[in-house]
Amino acid sequence: MGTLGFYFDQTICTGCRACQVACKDKNNLEIGVLFRNVRTFEVGVFPQTKAYHYSGTCNHCANPACVPVCPVGAMFVAEDGTVQHDDELCIGCLSCIQACPYSVPQYIESLGIVQKCDSCKQLRDNGWNPACVDACPMRALEFGDLDELRAKHGDDVVSELPILPSAGMTEPSLLISCKACAELPDFREKQV
C-alpha cells in the first residue's frame, strides 16, 4: 500500500462545516479546539468576487515538521505512514504546534497535552472511513491511497494553494481538486 492521505474536492464543497462538527464530535473536543477546520475565503473586487472553502486537517506529511521536533518522541510516523501522537509520552511543550506550518496540532488545556487528527485510525482499522469523510453531504472528502486517489480524480489535483504553506516544506499527503479562483493570490479570509 502506498502513502495514505486525504483528498478534498473543493469544487463541490459548500462550506457547511459538517466535517468539522463530525470530527469534533468523534474526538469529543473542547470548545475552541478543532482537528478539522473549514475556512472560507474571498477573492476579487465587487462585482467580480468569488468565494471558496477549504477544509483542512492534518496532512500526514511525508516529511512531517512535527515529528523530529518532539523532544520525547510522542509524535511519530505510524506503520501505515500516517502521523500519530502518543498521548502518554506528550509533555505538552507545544513545540509541534509552533513547528507545524499548517497549525494542525492543538493544545488540550484540560489534559495539558497536545493532540491532533489521527485520521480516525481506530475507525479505519475496523473498516470504516474517517468521521469527516462519512459526514460530508457532498462527498467532497476521501481518505485512501494517494496514487489511487490521483488516478481516480485526474492529474490536475494539487497539494498546495496560495492559502497554504509551500508543499516543499513538509510534503503533505494531500490532494485537492481546486476551484480556479482558489489559485488567485489576493485572498481574504471571511468569518462565517
Partner 1 sequence: MTQFRNACPRHCYGSCAMFSNVKGERLIRVIGDSKHGYTQGSLCAKGYSLIQYTLDDYRLRYPLKQLRRGSGEWRRISWDQAYDIISLKIIELNKTFGSNKAIGYYKGTGNIGLLHHAVEGMFAGLGSCTNLTGNICADTGIHVLEKTMGSFPHPDPEDMHKANLIVIWGGNPTSTNINLMRIIYKARKDKSVPLVVIDPVFTNTAKRADYYFQIEPHSDEWLALGIAKRLVEVKHIDEGFIKEHTCGYAEFARELDRLLIDEVLSHTGLSTEAFDCLCKLFLEHNAIACLTGFGMQRYRGAGKAVNAISALIALTGSYYTAGGGLYFYNKAYTDPAEFMIEYCKPHSTDGEGRFVNINTFPQEALGLQDPPLKMLWVSCANPLSQGFDLAAWYDLFSQLELVVCVDLYLTKTARQADIVLPAASFFEEEDLIVSFWHNWLTLNEKTLPSFYESKSDLQIARELSSYINRIKPGFSAFPSEMNALDWICKFFIPQMEDEYGFNSIDDLRKQSFKKIKEPLPDTWRYCFDSSLLSDLHSEISLSVCDYPYYLLTPQSLLKFHSQYETLTWLNPMQKKMPTAEISSHIASNQEIRNGDTIEVCSARGSMLSEACVNAKLPNNVVYVEQSDRFCVNNLFGGSFPSAESCPFFDCKVRIRKVSPYEQPEGFSC
Q: Rule CB under 8 A: which residues touch partner 1?
A: 68-73, 89, 91-95, 97-99, 112, 169
Q: How far is the CB of 89 from partner 1 (least distance, A)?
A: 7
Q: Tell me the C-alpha distance between 83 and 81, whole Å.
A: 7
Write the DSSP assignment of 140-185 as a string of letters: -EEEEEHHHHHHHH-TT-BS--TTS--TTTT---EEEE--GGGG-S
Q: How far is the CB of 189 from partner 1 (least distance, A)?
A: 16
114 backbone dihedrals φ, ψ, rounded to 5°: -100, 145
Quote the DSSP letter at residue 111: T
Q: How far is the CB of 68 from partner 1 (least distance, A)?
A: 5
Q: Tell me the C-alpha distance between 149 and 5, whole Å.
A: 9
Q: How far is the CB of 171 from partner 1 (least distance, A)?
A: 15
Nearer to partner 1 (CB atom), residue 93 or residue 181: 93
Is residue 44 a contact partner of residue 184, using CB atoms and an 8 Å limit? yes
Nearer to partner 1 (CB atom), residue 2 or residue 68: 68
Q: How far is the CB of 73 from partner 1 (least distance, A)?
A: 7
185 backbone dihedrals φ, ψ, rounded to 5°: -75, -30
Nearer to partner 1 (CB atom), residue 68 or residue 162: 68
Nearer to partner 1 (CB atom), residue 87 or residue 147: 87
Nearer to partner 1 (CB atom), residue 44 or residue 101: 101
